């Protein structure tokens, strides 16, 4: 590792094979915590390259516990996080709204590292069971339209990194990798990213797959459709910039989509919205993100997807999906 750190600190980059080897060696416990921390810190100081990202991705997918959910044509909705915006759990809520619209979801997520409350923090607090059992996950989709893939259960090789990430409390390249390493390899994916350069990297990687995808970056820095300004959306076939008005939605003040300061507060916001008791601003953001997911999976327009999202939330279909999943957890 010393040679790698010296190379990187001299402003050099890693080849794909070098990047892959480093992550494989981390999984084998070959490096001490100080070396791993130094390695992570270097990538906080500069942008990751495409070759490095490819190498890290290949290593994690090689090491992960894979789960075959191909019969269910699922979609994953997640962001890289690390945008420092502290919104409520938009993508997780949107996942249940999407499931309520009869689009199957395999939601990959984790505990918050750079934010106070990740998707797994909220779902665990609300009584959702995490499992990597294939039969349980398939039953979850069949009964509720959604299953939760809690990252540590599928990436056990990365147990050496988890405590270091938690201690650092900052975004690292693992934030960037998260959406790329869903162990169920969904055919459809919505990914939010915190800058445009990362959007380009993701676009390049996804173009080499057979995924239906949409990459989101709100131009004021959010890794989701925030409706606080214009958003860039990149799909396989086109790139567009949408204003909230283009989606027949309102432009929002950022303060109206803030999250809770604690897990308990975040969970309360989550359940209020899911039970159709959220504010107009909260609902609109969820409609936008789940609408995009629905449109991507069903190959319909975003506006059509948004209408299906509205129906899912307002007729309690999203809440029913959550309750069915929770009942399976008991």
Spatial distance between the Cα atoms of 206 and 202, rounded to a whole number of angstroms: 6
Domain 70-329, architecture per CATH: 3-Layer(aba) Sandwich (3.40)
Report whether 65 contacts 159 (CB < 8 A).
Answer: no
Report whether 175 contacts 118 (CB < 8 A).
Answer: no
Q: Which of 327, 312, 328, 315 is nearest to 98 (CA)?
A: 312
Q: SS3 for 219?
A: coil
Q: What do you get for the CA distance between the two ends of the chain, in Å?
A: 45
Q: pLDDT per position in the chain (330 positions), as tens? A: 899 999 999 999 999 999 999 999 999 989 999 999 999 999 989 989 999 999 999 999 999 999 999 999 999 999 887 777 889 999 999 999 999 999 999 999 998 865 668 899 999 999 999 999 999 999 999 999 999 999 999 998 888 887 888 787 777 888 889 899 999 999 999 999 999 999 999 999 999 999 999 999 999 999 999 999 999 999 999 999 999 999 999 999 999 999 988 999 999 999 999 999 999 999 999 999 999 999 999 999 999 999 999 999 999 999 999 999 999 998
Q: Give the H/E segment covering residue 30.
A: none
User: Dihedral angle at the C-alpha atoms of 143, 146, 147, 151, nearest 10 degrees?
Assistant: -170
CB neighbourhood size of 10 (10 A)? 7
Domain ranges of the chain: 2-63, 70-329
Residues 6+ apart with CB under 8 A from 225: 192, 216, 218, 231, 233, 247, 285, 288, 289, 292
How buried is residue 269: exposed, middle or buried, by Cβ count under 10 Å (0-12/13-18/19+)?
A: buried
Topology classification of domain 2-63: 1.20.970
Name the DSSP letter for residue 113: S
Spatial distance between the Cα atoms of 203 and 205, rounded to a whole number of angstroms: 5
Using alpha carbons, list the distances in angstroms from residue 164 to 14, 38, 321. 22, 10, 35
Evaluated on CA atoms 172, 177, 183, 188, the torsion sign reads positive
């Amino acid at each position: 590792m010393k040679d790698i750190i010296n190379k990187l600190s001299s402003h050099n980059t890693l080849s794909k094979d070098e990047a892959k080897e480093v992550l494989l060696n981390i999984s084998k416990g070959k490096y001490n915590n100080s070396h791993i921390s130094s390695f992570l810190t270097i990538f906080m100081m500069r942008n990751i390259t495409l070759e490095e990202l490819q190498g890290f991705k290949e290593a994690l997918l090689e090491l992960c516990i894979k789960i075959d959910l191909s019969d269910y044509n699922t979609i994953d909705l997640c962001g890289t996080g690390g945008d420092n915006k502290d919104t409520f759990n938009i993508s997780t809520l949107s996942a249940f709204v999407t499931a309520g619209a009869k689009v199957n979801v395999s939601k990959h997520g984790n505990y918050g590292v750079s934010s106070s409350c990740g998707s797994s923090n909220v779902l665990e607090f609300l009584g959702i069971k995490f499992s990597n059992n294939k039969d349980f996950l398939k039953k979850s989709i069949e009964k509720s339209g959604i299953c939760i893939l809690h990252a540590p259960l599928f990436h056990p090789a990365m147990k050496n990194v988890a405590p270091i990430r938690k201690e650092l409390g900052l975004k690292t390249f693992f934030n960037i990798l998260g959406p790329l390493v869903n162990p169920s390899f969904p055919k459809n994916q919505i990914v939010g990213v915190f800058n445009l350069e990362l959007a380009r990297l993701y676009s390049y990687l996804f173009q080499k797959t057979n995924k239906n995808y949409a990459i989101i970056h709100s131009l004021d820095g959010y890794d989701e459709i925030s409706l606080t300004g214009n958003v860039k959306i990149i799909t396989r076939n086109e790139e567009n910039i949408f204003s909230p008005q283009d989606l027949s939605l309102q432009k929002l003040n950022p303060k109206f989509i803030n999250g809770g300061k604690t897990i308990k507060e975040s969970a309360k916001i989550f359940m209020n919205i899911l039970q159709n008791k959220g504010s107009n601003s909260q609902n609109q953001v969820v409609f936008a993100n789940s609408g995009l997911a629905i449109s991507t999976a069903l190959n319909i327009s975003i506006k059509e997807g948004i209408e299906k999202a509205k129906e899912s939330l307002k007729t309690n279909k999203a809440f029913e999906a959550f309750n069915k999943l929770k009942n399976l957890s008991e």
